[in-house]
Structure 1
Amino acid sequence: MAKYLLLKHYRGAPAAVNDVPMDQWTPEEISAHIQYMNDFAARLEGTGEFVDGQALAPEGTFVRYDGEGRPPVTDGPFAETKDLIAGWMVIDVDSYERAVELAGELSAAPGAGGKPIHEWLELRPFLAAPPTITE
């Protein structure tokens, strides 16, 4: 089994095939999208492939060590940013091919008009420890 991170990006500007920005969806369309995500996670819980997931608030802060013990804090990202991470899901699957299959399915979550949004999802494997060499 290998763990993968699926990063769900929100694009304020149209970027997917169904190019209506989420801030223009109806409450019913947003509810249907969230229900799809919840049903997807529940199904993967049943197969043992779901590890964790969470939606993220659009506001945030950037922090960086400054070398003097007082990290500078910068506002952002902002909800009006063209691209920000809207949420994440961790899956634990048998193969890279299965991870790609699930990411493709998640990309079909409904959007405006109930049509699949075909959004890009970032698929990142967890860094695994290098193999131990024994002699």
Structure 2
Amino acid sequence: MAKYLMLKHYRNTSKSLDCAPMDQWTPDEVSAHIQYMNDLAAKLTETGEFVDGQALAPEGTWVRYDGEGRPPVTDGPFAETKDLIAGWMAIDVDSYERAVELAGELSAAPGPSGQPIREWLELRPFLGAPPTITE
């Protein structure tokens, strides 16, 4: 089994999606989209492939170590950006091919008029433990 993270990116331009940006969807279209993701998570829970998933708020803060003991904090990500991480789903599957299959299924979540949005998902494997050297 291998764990993968499927990152959902929200792009606020219609040029990057096959549909209108989500802020132009009706409340029913947003609800149907969220329900699709919840249904997929339930299906993957039944097969033992679901690990966890969350939606993320558009607000955020950037923090970094400054060497002085008090990290600087700035606003961000910024609303005017064209790409925000909107949420994620972690899966534990038998193969990379299965991870790609499930990412394709998540990409088919409905948008306006119930049509699949065909969003690009970032699929990233979890970093495994480094090999143990024994002598």
TM bucket by the smaller chain? Answer: over 0.9
Once residues 93 and 106 of structure 2 are traced to their aligned partners in structure 1, the CA distance between those partners, rounded to angstroms, is 15
Question: What is the TM-score with the length of structure 2 in the denominator?
Answer: 0.95
Residue of structure 1 equivalent to 2:17: 16
RMSD: 1.1
Q: Matched residues, percent identical?
A: 84
Residue of structure 2 equivalent to 1:77: 77
Once residues 120 and 54 of structure 2 are traced to their aligned partners in structure 1, the CA distance between those partners, rounded to angstroms, is 17
Q: What 5-or-longer segments of structure 2 have no aligned partner?
A: none
Paired residues, number = 134
Q: What 5-or-longer segments of structure 1 have no aligned partner?
A: none
Q: Return the letter of the residue paired with 1:45.
A: T
Residue of structure 2 equivalent to 1:44: 44
Residue of structure 2 equivalent to 1:121: 121
Residue of structure 2 equivalent to 1:132: 132
Partner deviation per Cα, 1:87-121 (whole Å, 9 max, x = no partner): 01100000000000000110000001111000000
Once residues 71 and 13 of structure 2 are traced to their aligned partners in structure 1, the CA distance between those partners, rounded to angstroms, is 32
Question: What is the TM-score with the length of structure 1 in the denominator?
Answer: 0.95
Q: Return the letter of the residue paired with 1:125.
A: P
Residue of structure 1 equivalent to 2:90: 90
SS for the counterpart of 1:17 is coil
Runs of 4+ in 1 over 4 A off after TM superposition: none
Structure 1 position 134, deviation (Å): 4.7
Once residues 25 and 31 of structure 1 are traced to their aligned partners in structure 2, the CA distance between those partners, rounded to angstroms, is 10
Structure 1 position 17, deviation (Å): 1.9
Residue of structure 2 equivalent to 1:102: 102
Residue of structure 2 equivalent to 1:25: 25
